[in-house]
A and B are shown apart, each in its own frame.
Chain A
Amino acid sequence: MFYIAFRMLVGDRGKFLGIILGLSFASLIMTQQPGVFVGIMTRAYSFITDLGLPDIWVMEPTVQYIDDIKPMPDTYLYRVASVEGVAWAKPLYKGTIQARLHNGTFQTCNLIGLDDATLIGAPAVMIEGKIENLRRTDGIIVNQEGALDKLANPPKYPRGPKIPLKVGQEIELNNHRAVVVGIAQTTRTFQSQPVVYTTYSNATLFTPPQLNLLSFVLVKAKPGQNLKALCDRIFRRTGLRAYTKEDFKSLTVNYYLKYTGIPINFGVSVLLGFLVGAAIAGQTFYNFTLENLRYFGVLKAMGTSEKTLLLMIIFQALIISFIGYGIGVGCTGIFDLLTQNTMLAFRFPWQLFIFSIFGIFIISSFAALISIRKVITLEPAIVFKS
């Protein structure tokens, strides 16, 4: 009977494609939009991800996310370093600064000040130059995206391509001369501002005078330490909030979830995709059943049990779900491939597969349910109507 169910389903190719299209669309929206959302959220904490070495981030207790900088006195570094279980503690400056470009315009940049001695927190991948060159006078490393675009030199002729910022060139940071000593590859940030790395001591020179400069204390735990317990210990001893990398990422994401409209906007898109997909697939599948009602009636009259008819419809729903889901997720996969290493934020974690399978399951169950009801309550005597 499943063969008959299958042939009934694919018999009218137009209708069949209509159902598949509805489910593919729903599946695409339910994976692509959350994928963009996850991508954006990932960028929100990309700076934490890029700093692979430290286990724990220590900060002023009221910090809510990675870009919420509450400067602390430099002496806090030593208080943290003295906590039992801490292998080392290094300072990190994170802030914004105005860069004056060659054409006289200004560009806001993220300025990262690294521990002078160890340069912990430096970018992992250098495109050009060496990290050690940061120790040169006024040395800075610029991220690749910034060097190619926002910090790039003006074009040679109107509407021509920008000329990338190169090693050896100078720019002005808050009226201070800065020399580019390297170009680094970093993960794009949420604001997509250029990222400028320098030493902690240079950062104090570049930034306007201020009482406190220390943004974070980066901590490496001694081997065998329970990181959560160490975080608690740091808090108890110093009064500073300490987070593991993952917890700090969660804190950042939760801030965006709670205080920005981003999740709601994407949630609405996903919900609309789900509803439109459900409407299209449900309506088309129901129409398909209505148009085949006479044939279900024939089967019923000939002695097909209600259970078999029910299984036939579930089988049909499973087929459309499987194909629709496959096409939708496949399209999202292609989108993922096409957007890799571009400005578009997109991530496709395995959880999205589960989420969209669940969504498609609900849609096809809904479509099957309304059809099953129609077929089960069908009077087989319908077959004698001409």
Chain B
Amino acid sequence: MTQEEFAVTCKELIKSYGHGETKITALRGVNLEVRSGEMMMLAGPSGCGKTTLISVIASILNQDNGECKVYGHDLNHMSKTERIAFRSKNIGFVFQAFNLFPSLTAAENVAIPLVIGGMDIKEATQKGCELLNEMGLGDRVSDVPADLSGGQQQRVAIARAMIHGPRLIVCDEPTSALDGHTGQKIMELIKKVALDETRAIIVVTHDSRIFSFADRIAKMEDGQILKVVNSYEEFED
């Protein structure tokens, strides 16, 4: 597999916060490869560096050392403007706390990445309506987030993450704010709707109930990846 076919390649990634005695090293030489078309889960205890890793991969945080490429593009060597443009086209986000704009309707929330890309708000909202319709939320397109259940809000967030056709979607604890049943449904939706051969999904989680949805699971601890496994059983071993 060539480097172009890897969605993400991380080599010896190092990232620290703070200085002097308060310095904390969140990533200690992380090596990771995520293939296009796969769902990779990052699992591990709180504070092990999962969120820092996806922040670096999503280019919203700069590493101190090491290399991180997304579809062959070394984001650290891009200018700020190029990085922002790359992110707006190629990366989608799903957040633990949904982060939907409370004053916008569901369809308008979904439309945001298209608007950022320069599309007219009306046209973008129309596309948002269509996508929500496909995801079974056709009757809630005009509702604001406060009128939606947690599961519905996360479905809107997933729609928002994929409407502009990004090649990488990063999900930070997408099920932790949901009950077990809804969490399963959300993961089914992500796997079914968001994942395809041209796109990779990285999910940060410590919810072992959703490990079965992963193609591979990377176990992290203390800023390092201990192992990358194919199933929950191997993960537990």
Contacts and interface: CB of A to CB of B under 8 A. Distances in A.
B61 A379 contact: yes
A91 B230 CA distance: 111
B55 A384 contact: yes
Nearest to B83: A303
A386 interface: yes
B55 A299 contact: no
A343 interface: no
- Output the residue of A295, A303, A305, A381 with the most chain B CB within 10 A: A303
Interface string B177-205: 10000000000000000000000000000
A343 B116 CA distance: 58
A168 to B, nearest CB: 72
A384 B121 CA distance: 26
A3 B117 CA distance: 14
Interface size class, chain B: 20 to 34
Contacts of A380: 60-61
A299 B172 contact: no
Interface stretch (A5-13, A202-210, A360-368): A5-13
A384 B103 contact: no
A295 B101 CA distance: 7
Contacts of B102: 11
A185 interface: no
Interface stretch (B32-40, B92-100, B217-225): B92-100
Mostly, the A contact residues are helix
Contacts of A301: 58, 60, 87, 93
Contacts of B176: 386
Contact of B84 (A11, A12, A305): A305
B55 to A, nearest CB: 4
Contact of A4 (B81, B84, B104): B104
B128 interface: no
Interface in B88-130: 88-89, 91, 93, 95-97, 99, 101-104, 108, 112-113, 115-117, 121
Interface in A272-289: none
A304 interface: yes
A302 B61 contact: no
Contacts of A8: 101, 103
A10 B112 CA distance: 18
A3 B108 CA distance: 10
Contact of B173 (A4, A7, A299, A386): A386
- Output the residue of B60, B96, B121 with the most chain A CB within 10 A: B60
- Output the residue of A3, A294, A298, A301 with the most chain B CB within 10 A: A301
A99 to B, nearest CB: 68
A380 B61 CA distance: 8
B78 interface: no
Nearest to A303: B88
Given A295-B101, A383-B95, A304 B116 contact: yes
Given A7-B108, A381-B60, A384-B172, A303 B115 contact: no
A1 B117 CA distance: 10
A7 B88 CA distance: 21
Interface string A298-314: 11111111001000000
Contacts of A386: 96-97, 173, 176-177
Given A8-B101, A383-B93, A383-B99, A304 B88 contact: yes
Interface in A1-42: 1, 3-4, 7-8, 10-12
B175 interface: no
Contacts of B51: 381, 384
Nearest to A294: B99
Nearest to A7: B103
Interface of B: 51, 54-55, 58, 60-61, 81, 84-89, 91, 93, 95-97, 99, 101-104, 108, 112-113, 115-117, 121, 172-173, 176-177
